[in-house]
Structure 1
Amino acid sequence: MTTEYSGRGDPKRVMELLWGAPERARRGPRPRLSVERVVEAATAIADAEGLAALSMRRVAERLGVTAMSLYTYVPGKAELLDLMLDRVCAETAKPQDVPGGWRGRLALVARESRALYLRHPWLLHVATNRPVLGPNLIARYDYELRAVEGVGLSDVEMDLVVTMVGDYVHGAVRGALAAAALPRETGVSDEQWWAELSPLLEKAHDPARFPVATRVGAAAGEEFAAALDPARAFEFGLARLLDGIAVLVEGR
């Protein structure tokens, strides 16, 4: 799937829309829509069909208006994408009392981020190297940083830790979503696929040649009843990641 990029539109206009600048005067009848409704409709399309299906025309159809009328609310698709990114960031829970100290807080950050990706898989296909900093995006970043506030890390290290956790979640969710999509895309469940392949594997596979793979693969397959368990792998990897961060924190 093609990667989209944040910040490719008119950042000045997006900032005005994100931070509540006064609406531009319009002639004619009272507007039927709002920027929020346009962004909500666009997000629903992307959630259901992916970013490839998103266009100003599709959003207009969903709202029952002409495509040209949308441009009085949002300059174009690039700006719309920036607004969508900030909107979904508002969904991330930000509880203040989290047990487990910095480790519990950082684990919650990772799990909330994973949940956000699972609700909005299109986020995986948006590069945010140049984000337009809206209120929800900044609030989320501030909350994530506070997970490791006061534990002895420098400001730069705090940023790097949060970035590392985000990168881990991004990679883990990408694999999980790909695994979940396979049965839908192929029409064949994992159980059906392995059942069909097993007789061929039994003939071709040589345990004496691949003893470790045979032993570990059999144990994992029996444990997961599948080739992998994305949710369990996520939690295992997250725990090891936090172990590594603990070495850094405790060293201070």
Structure 2
Amino acid sequence: MAAKTDDSGPVLPPAIEYAWGLRDRPPKGPRPGMSVPAIVDAAVGVADADGLAAVSMSRVAKELGAATMALYRYVGSKDELLALMVDAGYGPSPGPPPPGTDWRAGLTRWAWAEHDVLRQRFWLLHVPITGPPITPQQLGWMEDGLRCLDGTALTEGEKMSTLLLLTGYVRNEATLASQIAEGSRATGAKPSEMMPAYGRLLAQLIDPARFPALQRVLAAGVLSQDDDPDDEFTFGLDRILDGVDALIGRRAAT
């Protein structure tokens, strides 16, 4: 969520300020035991159990045994709550690359860490992106990803673009996995059965003269068994990093 501005500069919502430690204490309300962390934890619990669509101020209030309007004394809007949920949902970043780790190993570690978070919490993919991240843990992820590229010949802009490309790939792969999982639940088919079934269907439909490239894929048995999703993720990640490696090489040569 983007911060609002006034004549003196950006103005953060109170709950976001609290997340950054810019307030000594959270926004107060009359209910003992109510707090911003408790509200966020309850909302994340709802999303983990029933998906993002189940999260509403009234549902979270019910989980806490409070009136809906009581939540607004701590969290100003649902958008504000979603921003805090994303921060909590991602959790701490994997940390900076260990000493002696080269840039490629560091980014691989970083990408797999994000991959694992998104595979565990598909609901994070459904939170609308309304602006650049401003919460502490999300910026921690950004910081640690950028630090993987320390010592390379890339410009600071190229480092940021590399990280955006990489996180876009991770999110795309997680979105695909999420949609396959949803389709599997809807049809009752196991995810491992989907690709072989697709191959059998194509074999009935395609004319080899019209689709010779697809016919060669079928003949090679590519679709006869389901690949490990992690293998597909690794293949794409390696190709992206190959491209970054080529760019780093060109920059170092100039």
Residue 239 (structure 2) aligns with:
240
Return closer, same or farther for 1:200/1:138 CA change in 2, 3 Å cut-off.
closer
Aligned length: 243
Where relative contact order (Cα < 8 A, 6+ residues apart) is larger, the structure is: 1
- For 1:157 and 1:210, locate their aligned partners in 2 and report how far apart those are by CA, in whole Å: 40
* Structure 1 runs not aligned, ≥5 long: 1-5
Equivalent residues in 2 for 1:1-252, closer than 5 Å = 6-7=1-2, 11-20=12-21, 21-23=23-25, 26=28, 31-94=32-95, 96-97=97-98, 101-131=102-132, 133-190=134-191, 202-218=203-219, 219-222=221-224, 225-226=225-226, 229-251=228-250, 252=252
% identical aligned pairs: 34
Alpha-carbon distance in structure 2 between the residues aligned to 1:206 and 1:27: 69
8 Å CA contact 1:7, 1:78 repeated in 2? no
CA contact (8 A) 1:57 1:67 kept: yes
Which runs of 5 or more residues in structure 2 are unaligned? 5-10
Deviation string for 1:84-131 (max 9, x for gaps)? 122233333225427651000011111111111112212212343523
Instruction: Give the structure-1-normalised TM-score.
Output: 0.83
| Alpha carbons of structure 1 residues 8 and 220: separation in structure 2 relative to 1, 3 Å | farther
For residue 196 of structure 1, report the CA deviation from its aligned partner. 7.2
SS in 1 for 2:223: helix
**Structure-2 change in CA distance of 1:92 and 1:221 (3 Å):** same
Q: Which range moves more in the overlay, 234-243 or 194-203?
A: 194-203
**Inter-partner Cα distance in structure 2 for 1:112 and 1:204:** 40
Q: CA deviation at 1:199?
A: 7.1
Q: How has the CA–CA distance of structure 1 residues 209 and 239 changed in structure 2, closer, same or farther, with 3 Å as cutoff? A: same
CA offsets 1:142-162 (integer angstroms, 9 cap, x no match): 111001011111111111111
Q: 1:136 to 1:35 in 2, by over 3 A?
A: same
Would the alpha carbon gap of residues 129 and 161 (structure 1) be closer, same or farther in structure 2, given more than 3 Å must change?
farther
Stretch moving more, 10-19 or 47-56: 10-19
Decide whether aligned partners of structure 1 residues 215 and 97 sit closer, same or farther in structure 2, where only a CA change above 3 A counts: same
Instruction: Indicate conservation of the 8 Å contact 2:93/2:138, yes or no.
Output: no
